[in-house]
A and B are shown apart, each in its own frame.
With several copies, the nearest count.
Chain A
Amino acid sequence: MILTWMIGGAQGSGVDTAANLFGNTLGKAGYYLFGNREYYSNIKGRHSYFNLTISDKPKHSLSEKVDILTTFDAETVFQHFHEVKGHLIYNKGLENTKIDTVQSIEPELVEEISRRLGSYGNTISAAVKFAAEKGVQVIPIDYDQIARDVAFQLKVALSVVERVKNIAAVAASYGLLGLKEEYLMQSISRSFRNELYSKMNTIGAKMAMSYVKPAYDMKELPVDKRVQIDGNTASAMGKIAAGLRFQTYYPITPASDESTYIEAHQEVLTIDPDTGDKKRSPIVVVQTEDELAAVNMAIGAALTGVRAATATSGPGFSLMAEGIGWAGMDEVPVVITYYIRGAPSTGLPTRSGQSDLKFALNVGHGEFPRIVIASGDHVEVFKDAIWAFNLAERYQTPVIHLIEKGLANAYTTVDVKELDYSHIPGDRGKIVEGGENYLRFKLAEDGISPRAFLGRAHMYYTGDEHNEEGHISEASSNRIAMYAKRMKKLETADAEIPETQRVSVFGDSENVILTWGSPKGAVLDAMEMLEKDGIRVQLVQLRMFSPFPTRYVTKLLSGKSKIINIENSYTGQAASVVKEHTGIEATNHVLKWNGRPITRDEVYRSIKLILERNEKKVILDAGA
């Protein structure tokens, strides 16, 4: 069972709260959720929306069309009417609103929507008619009447109850599901501590529900212990679990929510290994003056032995290039959580993308070992955040953890047992006390010199080429050996980290889908859809790009009929990285660079197109 739902509204108008409340209700009712928030780089007034997949089994992707679209403003209808296949709930009072009077819609988009509406006209009524003619049930709701009634009942001014429309929209859509009303009412009273708001929304919700009749016949399901988390939180939790003690950040979308979460949970509970006593320990969180400071401060902290990290996204990462190089040169374990958003430059700051992969792989002048991992879903985000620290300390090198905005701001429900990490040992690598003649950069077969913490022994660090002691050295033979020692670590890592941990494989077929990051979910969900049509494909998901699992990928891709690269970029970067390492070329490409996540429907359709017509390049464009 799978149901897709959407709500939209202006930023700052309470649509966030409404969507979360709806999600919570469904979660409580035992459903798995995968939801994503799309929004403009704007604080108030521009259009934002939530796209939610609700299912009795875990799902990891979005759909292109939704069963239910619930709205209370005009823009949401204009932006999304063509995406609805089941029910469209709209504000009756806005029927005559014309598209060109909705100022928050960008001129390009007005043109496009007008073209789409064509002869239907240019009003909400036209859009609704368009949908209705395509078989959508359209449900007008008199939100103004509801607001007036609520204001009257509570004896407050109309302006006070303005926001009841959000919850009314949620409630109307909830009413279609066939679930118990009390679930929703409980969510409302949990969400609104303020008594007036709680009452107002309860009344409003009931009124709205009276407009609709159950249409989807959903039942409550038994729930295991489940959490609802977004990618930012998953990463933060993973870091904290791994023992993070120092996090720096400079505000940037979509990364800073991670740091804000850590800041709000700055005192963590720890257990004293010797006594078993529990106590609070501090995580130092510093909002720095810029990302140059953020990365270098984290590096400085890492030298003292704390697990230190920073989190940023494209523009900030660009500023970290030099610092990451120093960490590589000085063999500092530091984790950089890299949230990828729409690029280049300021780009689409609140949208998603995967076009920063090759930059992450090549950041910083010169050659130094770096480890780059990429998560494909929320559980991976959580566990990779732990893995990242283990890798950083074991190989004494910066680790870049890639998470796309499409995961960061997406949320999902996960069975708590999936977050169990007790099988992941904490690995701090070669740590020593130091002592008198300690040599921080002692040459070693595997490239890894025993590391002492700054403050425990005396030692030297420099970004210049250095000798074993850490003093500047320009001697040719020292240079050759020290450089090779550093690079050797990557070979050691390549030998030690099982390739099967660096690539995930799902299914088996002569037709392979190659992807990484968030498209994983869409591909997995599409694979189920394809399977119903009797089509089997194999998914090869790249989890670590450096050191690259060359042998395994070569083996996996050799002799396949089709290698279909699916990516949120223009040039298909992962495919070119694969080719660089293996010489094997993707045969087909499915690419999307409009900043919106890839949906399972798009994957489904593209794969069919490719298998049936051998389309070389499919360009995707779903998402308003």
Chain B
Amino acid sequence: MQALRKPEWNDWCPGCGDFGILSAEEMAIKELGLDLKKVVLVSGIGCSGKIPHFMRLPVSGVHTLHGRALAFATGVKLANPELEVIVNGGDGDQLGIGAGHFVNAGRRNTDITVILHDNMVYGLTKGQAAPTLKRGEKPKSLPRPNINDAINPIAMAIAAGYTFVARGYSYDVKFLKDIIKAAIKHKGSAFLDVLQPCPTYNDINTKEWYEKRIYKMTDLDPVVKEPGETVEKMTKGIARSYEWGDRIPLGIFYQNELVPTYEERIASNAPSYKNTVPANEKIVHEGKFTTLIDDLINEKVV
């Protein structure tokens, strides 16, 4: 692992919860001993979206469009399944403008890791209400109290089909790092809701506020061991995710490795996908195309 020529200056606000996520993600990648060239961070737009630029490991970064990171990430992963693809995005990014992709990605179960920077505000556009902000709340930059109900990201993810669904807290870096490691190791789409204080705009859900409430779940067995358990574990995970208020649970809400990944499903229709990485194929050799279409033409001969 070599250092970058010069690390980018990190321009998040002092005390931003994003720093914790960055550290945990870096540590997880390091501890897993991943081939850094093959790690790709795909992010959306927002404060959170800048994370690939700030990472101090020489992985690759694709800082995409607001709400579209999951689409880009899916393309990267399916074209080259050898890559380790991690998606970072804000709550506005993933659950507001990106909600359609968020839901539909669950249906595919591509082997990627999705990390939600859940700060309940639109940070980079100056603190508007994000989809996870509770109704009636009025963080300091809102002219009036929020009139939308909050999305429950955990429930939404389980319902959408993510096969690993967990929650972390950005200032508990060690715990978060462990969960990120588990998520990366998980085969299938892993979703991580990370509670991320935004000291600049969210003066309600602060570090102090969280630290009075969060606890690590020990009483929930989230793992599906055989298909028959699926619905039960899903509904238990969903039910638990509604616990919010005096106590806020951290940990894994649902995990199921029995569901085939999208890569496996593609291979079931196109067996050659199992041992061919599309991105590694030499489609042109010395100016000559290597794909043969004679069969296709013959099919159409009159």
Asked if B131 and A301 make an inter-chain contact with CB atoms under 8 angstroms apart, the answer reads no
Is B124's CB under 8 angstroms from A323's CB?
A: no
Q: Which of A242, A246, A268, A290 contacts B75 (CB 8 A)?
A: A246
Q: A289-B97, A289-B104, A454-B40 are in contact. Are A227 and B301 (CB under 8 A)?
A: yes
Beta-carbon contacts under 8 Å, A263-285 to B: 263-273, 278-284
* A233 contacts the other chain (CB 8 A): yes
Spot the interface stretch: B21-29, B182-190, B238-246, B267-275.
B267-275
Q: Given contacts A290-B97, A304-B76, A464-B63, are A472 and B50 in contact (CB under 8 A)?
A: yes
B289, A27: Cβ atoms under 8 Å?
no
Query: What CA separation (Å) do A442 and B294 show in the bound complex?
Result: 40
Contact with B along A224-261 (1 / 0, CB 8 A): 01111100010001001111011010111100100010
Q: Is the CB of A323 within 8 A of B80?
A: no
Contact A240 B291 (CB under 8 A): yes
Whether the Cβ atoms of A246 and B278 lie closer than 8 Å is yes
Is A346 touching B283 in the complex (CB atoms < 8 A)? no
Contact indicator B68/A292 (Cβ below 8 Å): yes
Chain B residues with CB under 8 Å of A41's CB are: 124
Q: Residue A554 at the B interface, CB < 8 A?
A: no
Candidate in A233, A306, A346, A427 with the most chain B CB atoms within 10 angstroms? A306
Q: When the two chains form their complex, are residues A323 and B65 in contact, meaning their CB atoms are under 8 A apart?
A: yes
CB-contact partner of B287 in A287, A426, A453, under 8 A: A426
Contact with A along B66-91 (1 / 0, CB 8 A): 11101111111011101100000000
Contact with B along A199-225 (1 / 0, CB 8 A): 000000000000000000000000101
Interface string of B276-293 (1 = CB under 8 A from A): 101111111111111111
Tell me how far the C-beta of B242 lies from the nearest C-beta in chain A, rounded to whole angstroms: 22
Cβ-based interface call for B59 (8 A): yes
Q: Which of B74, B124, B143 contacts A286 (CB 8 A)?
A: B74
- Partner among B60, B75, B97, B289 whose Cβ is within 8 Å of the Cβ of A301: B75
Interfacial chain B residues near A266, Cβ < 8 Å: 144, 269-270
Cβ-based interface call for B302 (8 A): yes
Interface string of A88-122 (1 = CB under 8 A from B): 00000000000000011011000000000000000
**B96, A289: Cβ atoms closer than 8 Å:** yes
**Inter-subunit contact B78/A246 (CB<8 Å):** yes
Taking A240-B296, A265-B296 as contacts, is the C-beta distance between A104 and B272 under 8 angstroms? no
Is A51 engaged at the interface, CB distance under 8 Å to the other chain? no
Asked whether B80 lies within 8 Å of A304 as measured between CB atoms, the reply is yes
Q: Within 8 Å CB of A463, what residues of B?
A: 45, 63-65
Q: Which residues of B contact A426 (CB under 8 A)?
A: 283-285, 287-289
| Residue of A with least CB distance to B101 | A293
B11 is an interface residue with CB less than 8 A from chain A: yes
Tell whether B47 is near chain A: CB-to-CB under 8 Å.
yes
Contacts of B9 in A (CB 8 A): 103-104, 106
Given A300-B75, A301-B79, A304-B79, check contact A267 B200 (CB 8 Å). no
Mark out the residues of chain A between 297 and 350 whose CB falls within 8 Å of any chain B CB in the assembled complex.
297-308, 315, 322-323, 326, 345-346
Q: Report A-chain residues with C-beta under 8 Å of the C-beta of B92.
A: 251
CB pair A425 B124 closer than 8 Å: no
Interface pair A43/B78, CB less than 8 Å apart: no
A28-B302, A243-B289 given; A457·B37 CB < 8 A = yes
| A411 to chain B: closest residue by CB | B300
Chain A residue numbers with a CB within 8 Å of B285 are 273, 426
Q: Are A300 and B71 in contact (CB under 8 A)?
A: yes
Q: B interface, by DSSP: helix, strand, loop or mixed?
A: mixed
Residues from chain A with Cβ under 8 Å of B73 in the complex: 300
Residues of A contacting B208 with CB < 8 Å? none
Closest to B40 in A: A454
- A282 near B273 (CB under 8 angstroms)? yes
Hey, which chain B residues are within 8 Å of A303, CB to CB?
62, 75-76
Which residues in A have their C-beta under 8 angstroms from that of B122? 251
Least CB distance from A535 to B in Å reads 34
Establish whether residues B302 and A281, one from each chain, have CB atoms under 8 Å apart when the complex forms: no
Q: How far is the CB of B51 from chain A (nearest CB, A)?
A: 11
Tell me if A48 is interfacial: C-beta within 8 Å of chain B.
no
Q: Per-residue CB proximity of B11-43 to A under 8 Å, as 1/0? A: 111100000000000000000000011101010
Q: Which residues of B contact A250 (CB under 8 A)?
A: 96-97
CA distance A426 to B76 in the complex (A): 23
Say which residue of B65, B123, B279 sits within 8 Å of A296 (CB atoms): B65
- Taking a contact as CB atoms closer than 8 A, the residue among B8, B99, B267 that contacts A289 in the complex is B99
Asked whether any CB of chain B lies closer than 8 Å to the CB of A599, the reply is no
**140-181 of chain B: CB within 8 A of chain A:** 143-144, 148
Give the contacting residue for A307; candidates B129, B200, B283, B287; CB below 8 A.
B283
Report whether B68 and A296 are in contact in the complex, using a CB–CB cutoff of 8 Å.
yes
Is A419 interfacial (CB-CB < 8 Å)? Answer: yes
A455 is an interface residue with CB less than 8 A from chain B? yes
The interface residues of chain A lying within 8 Å CB-to-CB of B8 are 471-472
Q: A300-B73, A323-B65, A460-B53 are in contact. Are A306 and B278 (CB under 8 A)?
A: yes
In the complex, whether A24 has a CB less than 8 A from a CB of chain B is yes
Bitwise interface map of A from 427 to 465 toward B, beta carbon under 8 Å scored 1, else 0: 110000000110000000000000001111111111110
The closest CB in chain A to the CB of B35 belongs to A455
Q: Are A282's CB and B71's CB within 8 A? A: no
B231 at the interface (CB under 8 A from A): no
| In the complex, B295 has a CB within 8 A of chain A | yes
Q: Does B258 contact A (CB under 8 A)?
A: no
Q: Tell me whether B125 and A301 are in contact (CB under 8 A).
A: no
Cβ of B266 within 8 Å of any chain A Cβ, yes or no, is: yes
Q: Does A498 contact B (CB under 8 A)?
A: no
Q: Which of these, A43, A281, A453, A457, contacts B276 with CB under 8 Å?
A: A281
User: In the complex, what residue of chain B is closest to A10 when comparing beta carbons?
Assistant: B11
Contacts of B123 in A (CB 8 A): 43
Could you list 29 A-B pairs, sorted by A, with CB under 8 Å? A27-B302, A43-B12, A43-B200, A237-B297, A243-B290, A245-B281, A251-B126, A251-B128, A268-B293, A269-B291, A269-B295, A270-B292, A271-B290, A273-B282, A273-B286, A273-B290, A286-B78, A289-B96, A289-B100, A292-B67, A292-B101, A296-B65, A304-B80, A304-B83, A304-B278, A345-B65, A427-B287, A453-B279, A455-B83
Q: Apart from A44-B200, A301-B278, A426-B285, what 17 extra A-B contacts exist at CB < 8 Å?
A: A12-B200, A24-B302, A240-B296, A241-B293, A268-B292, A273-B282, A284-B78, A287-B129, A289-B103, A289-B131, A290-B100, A296-B64, A302-B79, A303-B62, A305-B79, A454-B62, A472-B8
Query: A residues bordering B, Cβ < 8 Å?
Result: 12, 24, 27-28, 40-46, 103-104, 106-107, 223, 225-229, 233, 237, 240-243, 245-246, 248, 250-253, 256, 260, 263-273, 278-284, 286-294, 296-308, 315, 322-323, 326, 345-346, 386, 413, 416, 419, 421, 425-428, 436-437, 453-464, 469-472
Closest 9 CB pairs of A and B: A300-B75, A243-B283, A426-B284, A273-B285, A27-B302, A289-B104, A301-B79, A300-B72, A462-B63
